Amino acid sequence: MNSPDSSQPTADSPRPKLPWAEIDTVFLDLDGTLLDKHFDDYFWEQHLPMVYAGRHRLPPGQAREELLAIYRSVENTLAWTDLHYWSNRLGLDVCAEKRQVSHLVGIHPHVDSFLTFLNAIGKRPRLVTNAHPEALRIKLDKVPIGHHFAGIICSQEIGLAKEQPEFWPALGQATSYDPARTLFVDDTERVLDSAAAGGLRYLVHIARPSSRQPARFSSRFPSISSFAELLPPTFNNECPRAAAG
């Protein structure tokens, strides 16, 4: 589902130049960063409202507006992505509904190359995501990239959402890292603001989380529309893969 972001639809932010020798840890977001956010947008904004409308005998437009209002009521909290919470609140099997449309899960172009590049230079990344563990399993079953990561941390394990500044010190208790020598890539400026408050030094914004939406470049963070922009020109491990759906 979409959340507010102050990004601007221009490409005036500087292209990141990352000093890899000064980076020990790489944290990567999942939805919208590595994976095409079209799947989640479609699920929460179209598929689930249709199911909800049928269950409650509501006009589709009314069902969608009701759900969007409910979503906003828990935005930027752990409940935002908690599938069990939504199953209980809506009286639906949200995990089963996710699996029903999981054919739409897709990976962004050049992600495989970037993950391979990180491992090749000894910067084995860690996945840090707000995705619920059930959603994570569904997605990694469809896009098997888990072997690239030194670790996978879900916000549910930390007990805080990444938007909350307290998340980052708590993450340090779960997995040791030096914020001053850490790169973090995410598609949401609010999350990057939180990471900056937590002391993370190298922050990169993903300008095109969904293949169905135009790029919206950040005015405050180095911003890219493709991971090809973080690869050295000599690195060519992958034929670009289009996101599914």
Domain range for residue 89? 39-103
Domain termination site, one of 103, 126, 152: 103
Domain termination site, one of 51, 82, 103: 103
* 23 and 178 Cβ atoms separated by less than 8 Å: no
Question: Is 1 among the domain residues?
Answer: no
Query: Are 142 and 118 part of one and the same domain?
Result: yes
Question: Is 49 among the domain residues?
Answer: yes
What pLDDT sits at residue 16? 77
Domain termination site, one of 56, 75, 103: 103
For the domain that residue 132 is a member of, what is the CATH number? 3.40.50.1000
Query: Are 220 and 111 part of one and the same domain?
Result: yes
What pLDDT sits at residue 13? 55
What would the pLDDT profile of 192-243 be if each residue is shown by its tens digit? 999 999 999 999 999 999 999 999 999 999 999 999 999 988 776 544 443 3
Query: Are 137 and 26 part of one and the same domain?
Result: yes
| Long-range contact set of residues 208-213: C-beta below 8 Å, sequence gap at least 24 | 209/31, 209/32, 209/33, 209/36, 209/37, 210/32, 210/36, 210/37, 210/38, 210/41, 211/36, 211/38, 211/106, 211/108, 211/242, 211/243, 211/245, 212/38, 212/41
Q: How many domains does the chain have?
A: 2
Query: Are 136 and 214 part of one and the same domain?
Result: yes
How many angstroms separate the Cα of 159 from the Cα of each of 10, 53, 102, 163, 171? 35, 32, 26, 12, 10
Question: Is 11 among the domain residues?
Answer: no
Query: Are 66 and 181 part of one and the same domain?
Result: no
Query: Are 157 and 192 part of one and the same domain?
Result: yes
Question: Is 12 among the domain residues?
Answer: no
Query: Are 133 and 205 part of one and the same domain?
Result: yes
Query: Percentage of residues in the chain with pLDDT exceeding 70?
Result: 90
Question: Is 91 among the domain residues?
Answer: yes
Q: Which pLDDT band, with edges at 50, 70 and 90, does 17 fall under?
A: confident
Query: Are 32 and 49 part of one and the same domain?
Result: no
Question: Is 80 among the domain residues?
Answer: yes
Query: Percentage of residues in the chain with pLDDT exceeding 90?
Result: 84
What pLDDT sits at residue 137? 96
Query: Are 70 and 128 part of one and the same domain?
Result: no
Query: Are 221 and 110 part of one and the same domain?
Result: yes
What would the pLDDT profile of 100-121 be if each residue is shown by its tens digit? 999 999 999 999 999 999 999 9
